[in-house]
Structure 1
Amino acid sequence: MKYVVGIDLGTSSVKTLLVSQGGEIKGEATAAYPLIHERPGYSEQDPEEWVKGTITCLKELMKSSGVAAEDIEGISFSGQMHGLVLLDDRNEVLCHAILWNDTRTTKQCRAIEAKLGDKLLDITRNAALEGFTLPKILWVQENEPELFAKAARFVLPKDYLRYRMTGNVHMELSDAAGTLMLNVPEAKWSEEILEAFGLSSNFAPPLVGSTEETGTLLPEFAELTGLSTSTKVFGGGADNACGAVGAGIVRQGDALCSIGTSGVILSYEEDKNKDFAGKVHFFNHSHPGAFYAMGVTLAAGYSMSWFKDSLAPELSFDELLKPVADIAPGAEGLLFTPYLVGERTPHADSVIRGSFIGLSGTHRREHLARAVMEGITFSLAESLELFRQAGINVERIISIGGGAKNPVWLQMQADIFGTPVVALNNEQGPAMGAAMMAAVGSGWFDSLKDCADQFIGYRATYEPNAANVDKYARLFKLYQQVYAATRSLNEGLQEFREQ
């Protein structure tokens, strides 16, 4: 039996999966590492921690599984997106990595918009947001010029880890799409953008595909982990691309609903000319020639965690949500907007905050709980509506994360989205997507689509309830009015918030 390893390099930890040719999980290991917050709005990490954590996990996988090193054919990666790792001419790290959730770059985002104008969306298909990589590069240029003068190139987090494993510097395409320097429709670096900001073409590493081989393990890395120098290493993918692959989102008509701390609606697309005017993200997918559109709700699962911790800390989530099944759609005239930390899609607004609208003395905790669930789902439905307006046909939605653990919430998603919602048998997320890329790269399958047929299993399908679909459609129109109605109120309240 042969095996592959999927490595998910997350923000707080690295997760590794050992997967057989039949798609069975034969081992997993996780290692945590710290975030560095030197100032408000700063979020950094030491790239060496990624390497140490990965070595720890791989050693544990080899020890616990008993699999022979020569039977592990390939390794691939999922990586946290957008993080800036600056390297000198010897490929040594120059400073801490600046992560996706670092917010110091608002000034640089406005500078990008001013310099590129409409060309930004034409080329990159994405708006300039603080999380992206180019604003971080410009911040270092402006604030640490002596350090930046030493920078020969940049990489993203998983690409740095892969370099340490193989000695070869590349950047994988689906991750490069989140830098604001890639011509997304043409799948190549934009010379126009690089030149506009004084960056040489060598500053951006050679691009590779998700299933493309980038080398084999260096002898020293193989020795540290117990793996073989013959193990092939493949490009991998951005965490959202890998999460989509791991959920089987590799065909036209499929979409993903992921409710974690934040929430994501993601759809598979093969038309490079889709234009969302920057209202949603549009990135290259891991499947060759494909793309994915993505909308984000910043406080999806976080809204539910906040509600539980604030009003029912003594209850489990199952206990808290059990009575919700007895409450009719609409929570007896109560709406909730999940803007607890601002919003991303369709309102890129850091000032807006959440609301309960219609609260009365007859509402009990279970009504509020249902309203929170519905509000989170309405927010995700706004992204889905943008997809449909752009001509994307969504035939089914695969639901993962916290929203897939509760049957009532799964049915609610089907009713609000007006689309069948499917739950997975075994949800492993981006690490499984990375393992699938290694499986295809190793020649086990001809494509990620073929691999998904073997590796992905489905638990249940929730069909929309026609009566509920009609009721939720009317509620959704009311929900969409809350943002505009509360925007100025939140601006006024901002002076009273703790800064």
Structure 2
Amino acid sequence: MNYHLGLDIGSSSIKAALVEINSGKSIGVVQEPKEEMSMFAQKNGWAEQEPKDWWLHVCNAIQSLKKQYNINKTQIKGIGISYQMHGLVLVGKQGEPLRKSIIWCDSRAVATGKNAFKQIGEEKCATQLLNSPANFTASKLKWVKENEPDIYNQIYKFMLPGDFIAYKFSNKINTTISGLSEGIFWDFKNDKIADFLLEHYGLDPSLVPDIVETFGMQSVVDQKGADESGLATGTPIYYRAGDQPNNALSLNVFHPSEVAATGGTSGVFYAVTDSLSAKESNRVNNFAHVNYQKGAAARIGKLLCINGAGIQYRWLLNNLDVSSYEDMNNLASEIAIGSDGVCLIPFGNGAERMLNNKEIGTRVLNLNLNNHHKGHLCRAALEGIAFSFVYGMEILTSDGINPKVIRAGNDNLFRSEIFANTVATLIDQEIEIYNTTGAIGAARAANLHTGDFASFSKTIMNNDYVMTFTPNKEKQAFKEAYQNWKKELELILNT
């Protein structure tokens, strides 16, 4: 039996999956380390990780998979890599990291990106970058140039986290168009590296890695990579993508009007379009999707993130007198749609980009201490989080997205019937649920170097489909509850 290896390089842990090549069936998934990886924060708002730690955990995960499932290295025929987006890894000429990686949730470059947005011009950024430079990888590199010139002067290449892991396997430094776009290094209008942004930031173009296809022979494991990882020399790396495009791929979302949704600690809608419109570039990010190709019809992933999602429900679990999420869902199911007027605004996890980066916090409104109890709070929380997804979809709709298919992972929030039914009913769209992970998706994507997308789609349907939530025919109560919530939200936003 032969397998593909999928790696998901997160900021909390590294996950590794084996899938059988012919069937696409998942054989097993492991996580390293067992506890959450640490972050370094020298100052408030900073977040860094040591790239060598990612590699150590990758190697440990591969050894664990091989041992647990009795697989030898020659049975692993290819590698797919998913990784935390927007990170910055800097290496010198010998390939050694020059500093810790500045990762996705580090906010030190916010002012750098804001200034660039104004100075370059909002229209030019929207039409060519499809985004503000914001706090993305290019702005972080500019921050290093300004604040750590000794390090900047030693840089041979910058990389994204997935590029670094591929380099450790192969001793080859390269990246993808999708990866460059997530760092805001890609000029979509001219289909090339955004030279004007590099020039504005004073960044040396030679620091940009070589570009390889997202699907294809990107590099192969060399002797050093084999010795450290336990894979065979010559094992190809066939695929690499950031975690959100990869999550969409894992859910078989490739074409315009297809939408991937995730409902974990934070929530995401990732919608694919063939339009280069960036009308909502202040609230929605736009990246080259995994199947974007130069000179072909555009495939853009519009990413709308909701920070205050599952973290809100988890907070209630930890602070109410309840034993489990199931207990909370049962309490919520006893309460009517609209939670008897109780309204929960669930944005207590920092600034919300979709609310123009306002930080409004969590708010519980209209609570009557005589009539309402924890069941109302549980229902109001599920509804409030669901309403935030609906509000996000309204933003995407205003930016040209007309969803025809929504697929979601079988994760925390979408296991709740109240949550999923509320979203499906108000968006008026079925939501298909699939049981998959980013590491499994990356492993399967290693097979897409063959170009057989039809078989890939069939594999997901055969192995992962769980169920479909359909919109309620009776919508009025849902609509009234949502309008009440939206009115409360807009009162806060306009204060």
Pair in the same fold by TM > 0.5: yes
- Which residue does 2:58 correspond to in 1? 54
Unaligned runs of 5+ in 1: 490-499
1:322 and 2:330 are equivalent in the alignment: yes
Tell me which residue corresponds to 2:469. 462
Q: State the match for 1:7 in structure 2.
A: 7
Mapped to 1, the partners of 2:145 and 2:199 lie a distance apart of 14
| Alignment pair present for 1:372 and 2:381 | yes
Which residue identity lines up with residue 31 of structure 1 in the other structure? E
2:341 aligns to what SS in structure 1? Answer: coil
Distance 2:125 2:93 in 1: 29
**Equivalent position of 2:92 in the other structure:** 88
Provide TM-score, normalisation by structure 1: 0.92
**Matches of residues 40-189 of structure 1 in structure 2 within 5 Å?**
40-118=44-122, 119-130=124-135, 132-184=136-188, 187-189=191-193
| 1-structure distance, mates of 2:264, 2:364 | 21
User: Map of 1:297-446 to 2, 5 A cutoff?
Assistant: 297-312=306-321, 314-361=322-369, 362-400=371-409, 401-424=411-434, 426-428=435-437, 430-441=438-449, 443=450, 446=452
Q: 1:192 and 1:128 mapped to 2: Cα distance?
A: 12
Shift of 1:91: 2.4
Equivalent residue number for residue 27 of structure 2? 26
- Give CA-to-partner distance per residue, 1:256-285, whole Å, 9 cap, x none: 221111110111223334643432111111
Q: Residues 9 and 158 of structure 1 are in contact (CA less than 8 Å); yes or no, is this contact kept in structure 2?
A: yes
Provide closer, same or farther for how the CA distance between residues 10 and 190 of structure 1 changes in structure 2, counting only shifts above 3 A: same
Cα distance in 1 between the residues matched to 2:258 and 2:140: 33
Partner of residue 455, structure 2: 450
Contact between 1:334 and 1:358, CA under 8 Å: does it hold in 2?
yes
Cα deviation 1:447-489 (Å, max 9, x = unaligned): 3x5302213431111111122x333233333323333422476
Please give the alpha-carbon distance, in whole angstroms, between the structure 1 residues aligned to 2:60 and 2:363. Answer: 44
Could you say which residue in structure 2 is the equivalent of 1:229?
233
Deviations 1:315-365 (A, max 9, x none): 111112212122221111121111102342421324321212222131111
Which residue pairs with 2:484 in the alignment?
478
SS at match of 2:347: coil
Percent of residue pairs identical:
24
Aligned letter for 1:404?
Answer: F
What RMSD in Å do the two structures reach over aligned CA positions?
1.9
For 1:344, the aligned partner's letter is: E
Per the TM alignment, residue 48 of structure 1 is displaced from its structure 2 partner at its CA by 0.3
* SS of residue in 2 equivalent to 1:180: coil
Q: For the residues of structure 1 that align with 2:478 and 2:351, how far apart are their CA atoms? A: 22
Indicate if the aligned counterparts of 1:173 and 1:187 stay in contact, CA closer than 8 A.
no
Count of matched residue positions in the alignment of Structure 1 and Structure 2: 481
Q: Give the TM-score taking structure 2 as reference length.
A: 0.92
What's the counterpart of residue 496 of structure 1? none
For residues 134 and 486 of structure 2, the distance between their equivalents in structure 1, rounded to whole angstroms, comes to 23
Partner of 2:196: 192
Matches of 2:477 and 2:330 in 1, distance apart?
22
Inter-CA distance 143–56: structure 2 relative to 1 (3 Å threshold): same
User: Could you tell me how far apart the structure 1 residues matched to 2:480 and 2:179 are?
Assistant: 38
Q: Could you tell me which residue of structure 1 aligns to residue 269 of structure 2?
A: 265
Higher mean Cα deviation, 92-101 or 166-175? Answer: 166-175
What runs of 5+ residues in structure 2 fail to find an aligned partner? Answer: 294-298
The answer to whether the Cα contact below 8 Å between 1:297 and 1:343 also exists between their aligned partners in 2 is no
Question: What is the rounded CA distance, in whole Å, between the counterparts of 1:209 and 1:483 in structure 2?
Answer: 43
